[in-house]
Chains A and B, each alone.
Chain A
């Protein structure tokens, strides 16, 4: 079974509008972490936001917020006020187990976002 599922292979969004990228996950661990990364055409992986399984508040970082619904095992990324520079691939990832060196990340298939002017 897929551990991380991103059901939207690609989507368009109008500049200045908000967009929600879906991510569902599957784990039996009680302690885990969820990440979102942005990958522009240059290939670098840019960390956007992190949510720990025990965090009660939804994570926010500037224009990025994470809609964490633990019971539904979903961790959707919301990008508000989209900008042309937001056009990129977006990956959801999960670390199972507690924060520690050696705990690998598992990535979803990614969602390509194209912001239209």
Chain B
């Protein structure tokens, strides 16, 4: 299957700052990437679908101005959490999809 990396694997930031998370497809050209958020002891919730060269499609209830997604190439999508607050602390996971879905290792964000 495809290999997906995320960077950073964990990050701590102060409230009000912005954090960028990268998702890379290492061996597959991904026209579509997905961003999920997972709060402790909960399931994965899809935040948005990232489409190469076009705007992301956000799920209902996800603020597109707060969670900026850029999918500028077939191997890289970025999620920027702007003006982060403690309630944004979560585990963020990206995935790419060919016929199957391959997940990155996740990024744990803690906002203090």
Binding site for B on A (CB under 8 A): 35, 37, 42-45, 47, 50, 91, 95, 99-110
Q: Tell me which of B45, B46, B98, B101 has the highest count of chain A C-beta atoms within 10 A of its own C-beta.
A: B101
**Residues on A with beta carbons closer than 8 Å to the beta carbon of B95:** 45, 105
Interface residues of B in 95-112 (CB under 8 A from A): 95, 97-103, 105-106, 108
B49 within 8 A of A: yes
B40-55 interface code vs A (CB 8 A; 1 in, 0 out): 0011111001010000
The docked-state distance in angstroms from the alpha carbon of A108 to that of B44 is: 8
Instruction: Knowing A47-B100, A110-B43, say if A101 contacts B1 (CB, 8 Å).
Output: no
Question: A101–B43 contact, CB under 8 A?
Answer: no
Binding site for A on B (CB under 8 A): 1, 30-32, 34, 38, 42-46, 49, 51, 91, 93, 95, 97-103, 105-106, 108
Cβ of A53 to closest chain B Cβ, rounded Å: 14
The docked-state distance in angstroms from the alpha carbon of A35 to that of B49 is: 19
**Residues on B with beta carbons closer than 8 Å to the beta carbon of A47:** 1, 100-103
Question: B43–A102 contact, CB under 8 A?
Answer: no
**Residues on A with beta carbons closer than 8 Å to the beta carbon of B46:** 104-106
**Residues on A with beta carbons closer than 8 Å to the beta carbon of B45:** 107
Q: Which residue of A lies closest to B98 (CB)?
A: A101
Please give me the 7 A-B residue pairs with the lowest Cβ-Cβ distance, nearest first: A45-B103, A43-B106, A99-B99, A101-B32, A107-B43, A102-B32, A107-B44
Q: Which residue of A lies closest to B9 (CB)?
A: A43
Question: A108–B43 contact, CB under 8 A?
Answer: yes
